[in-house]
Structure 1
């Protein structure tokens, strides 16, 4: 966890497919109310709320009250940690594939 304000690890938060789908939905909209998010899943409002809470704890989701309604929006900046981690391994595999290609070329000669 890179940010001290985060209560939950970003990797833990995105491990669940439902939470990844919530992130995707929020990325496509500026803001969505809970009832619109719930309509996208075959689960109840309480279950969706629990997933949103986990995303909030990881700093991935922000919420605000508008009257009796809670509206949610994505805060994608914590995903930078995931991007950096994946980028490291992309370089790792690219380097190793290049070495393998060189080795195979040497064996062909």
Structure 2
């Protein structure tokens, strides 16, 4: 079990604390409203996450979504039309474009 709990989600911290108190998965599940199998999977994922570097990778360049939005905007598409094509709102498309522009300027 990881000793560094600052990178854990709240439910993971609660489950680990209960496990350290000696509770079984069935009891933990009853207390937090999850099935015992779910509790076991969460514990397995905590162990799995321990071996993974949690620092975000240095992204160089825009994401595929940002590239698609930029291409469609360059073609003259409106935010609403792009949003409809990508299953998002026009407001969301505008926000993604603004964030991509801010990141590229930095």
TM-score, normalization: structure 1?
A: 0.34
- The structure whose RCO (Cα within 8 Å, separation 6+) is larger is 1
TM-score, normalization: structure 2?
A: 0.34
Structure ranking higher in strand proportion = 1
Structure ranking higher in helix proportion = 2
